[in-house]
């Protein structure tokens, strides 16, 4: 499933094509949404934004189209009169001027007003979105200390969209590695400086992945490996998908284990099971 950075980049492409323009065509594949085609056609697209792994296309007048790609959804932006070469099924389309934004294969599409958006069962429970809401390091560190989050294993917590929206399986592994924290650790067992380091990694890795089109390695390390002839798949990640390979930092063997229902990857040396900070939070 695409994670937050991939959905944000898709939103950028859609926004470049239709944001600020009047929609001269709106298409829905699902019969229950067909009545909204004439309602939204002729309205300006005010904003294309994201909430975690979901996208909101806001039209003037207060209606928004919420879409979630799930596993198979994919956005295309095409010039009028052209269609992508794909066997996927078109589910939603917006035409504005010379371009059309086309969503294929997604099954979760809804038209919302302000009230139904506030009460939406997915949107209403989301935590802050790093790429659209810009939480601070201090805010995320404080969030880790909240009673509802502090006793959960971090490897599972980082998959919870109610904690931070948009994180997924590869990002949680890479974030924990850069923070040098074992995925089985809990926030309540971490030192203050470890929680600050983790919060900083959540922000930095999510933003880096957005900028680099999915590469979580530091730019210098990725460039070094690329110059040595490595393929993109070989210089993309620190630990994700690299079980039994050598750690890029200490050269020890990386491990993988199911945590939070998904396989998580880590280095047993770089990510110790015990706290390494100088100060420890109270567990009371």
**220 and 178 share one domain:** yes
DSSP output for 176-213: HHHHT--TT-BGGGSBHHHHHHHHHHHHHHHHHHHHTT
Residue 23, classed as helix, strand or coil, is coil
Number of CB atoms found within 10 A of residue 86's CB: 12
Backbone angles phi, psi at 279, to 5 degrees: -125, 140
Q: Which domain holds residue 117?
A: 4-125
pLDDT tens for the chain, residues 1 to 284 = 789 999 999 999 999 999 999 999 999 999 999 999 999 999 999 999 999 999 999 999 999 999 999 989 999 999 998 999 999 999 999 999 999 999 999 999 999 999 999 999 999 999 999 999 989 999 999 999 999 999 999 999 999 999 999 999 999 999 999 999 999 999 999 999 999 999 999 999 999 999 999 999 999 999 999 999 999 999 999 999 999 999 999 999 999 999 999 999 999 999 998 766 554 444 33
**36 and 105 share one domain:** yes
Q: How many domains does the chain have?
A: 2
**204 and 177 share one domain:** yes
Q: Which residues are CB-contacts of 91 (< 8 A; sequence separation ≥ 6)?
A: 28, 29, 30, 73, 103, 104, 105, 106, 107, 109
Tokens of 51: 């909430």
280 found inside a domain: no
215 found inside a domain: yes
**134 and 76 share one domain:** no
Tokens of 71: 């596993």
Annotation marks residue 53 as catalytic? yes
**173 and 145 share one domain:** yes
**109 and 142 share one domain:** no
User: For residue 153, which of 165, 163, 142 has the smallest C-alpha distance?
Assistant: 163
**121 and 134 share one domain:** no
**153 and 250 share one domain:** yes
Distance CA 100, CA 102 (A): 6
157 found inside a domain: yes
Estimate to the nearest angstrom the gap between the alpha carbon of 98 and the chain centroid: 29
Annotation marks residue 115 as catalytic? no
Interval 140-155: pLDDT, tens? 999 999 999 999 999 9
**76 and 139 share one domain:** no
Annotation marks residue 3 as catalytic? yes
**8 and 72 share one domain:** yes
154 found inside a domain: yes
273 found inside a domain: no
Q: What is the CATH number of the domain that holds 226?
A: 1.10.8.50
Q: What is the CATH number of the domain that holds 120?
A: 3.20.190.10
Distance CA 116, CA 113 (A): 5
Distance CA 113, CA 233 (A): 42
Tokens of 238: 């620190």
pTM over 0.85: yes
User: Which residue of the set 8, 9, 51, 53 is catalytic?
Assistant: 53
Interval 149-195: pLDDT, tens? 999 999 999 999 999 999 999 999 999 999 999 999 999 999 999 99
44 found inside a domain: yes
**235 and 142 share one domain:** yes
User: Which residue of the set 88, 207, 221, 262 is catalytic?
Assistant: 262
């Amino acid at each position: 499933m695409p994670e937050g950075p991939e959905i944000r980049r898709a939103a950028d492409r859609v926004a470049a094509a239709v944001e600020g323009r009047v929609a001269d065509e709106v298409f829905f594949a699902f019969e229950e949404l067909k009545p909204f085609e004439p309602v939204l056609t002729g309205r300006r697209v005010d904003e294309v934004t994201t909430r975690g792994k979901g996208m909101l296309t806001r039209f003037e007048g207060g209606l928004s189209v919420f879409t979630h790609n799930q596993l198979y959804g994919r956005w295309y932006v095409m010039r009028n009169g052209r269609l992508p070469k794909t066997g996927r099924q078109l589910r939603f389309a917006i035409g504005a001027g010379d371009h059309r934004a086309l969503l294929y294969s997604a099954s979760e599409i809804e038209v919302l007003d302000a009230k139904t958006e506030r009460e939406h069962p997915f949107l209403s429970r989301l935590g802050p979105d790093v790429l659209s809401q810009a939480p601070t390091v201090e805010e995320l560190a404080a969030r880790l200390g909240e009673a509802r989050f502090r006793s959960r294993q971090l490897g599972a917590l980082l998959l919870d969209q109610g904690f931070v929206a948009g994180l997924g399986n590869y990002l949680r592994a890479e974030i924990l590695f850069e923070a040098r924290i074992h995925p089985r650790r809990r926030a309540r067992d971490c030192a203050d400086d470890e929680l600050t380091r983790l919060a900083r990694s959540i922000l930095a890795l999510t933003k880096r992945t957005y900028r680099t089109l999915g590469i979580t390695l530091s730019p210098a390390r990725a460039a070094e490996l690329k110059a040595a002839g490595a393929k993109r798949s070989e210089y993309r990640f620190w630990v994700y998908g690299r079980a039994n390979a050598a750690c890029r930092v200490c050269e020890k063997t990386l491990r993988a284990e199911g945590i939070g229902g998904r396989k998580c990857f880590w280095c047993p040396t770089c990510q110790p099971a015990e706290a390494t900070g100088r100060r420890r939070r109270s567990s009371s």
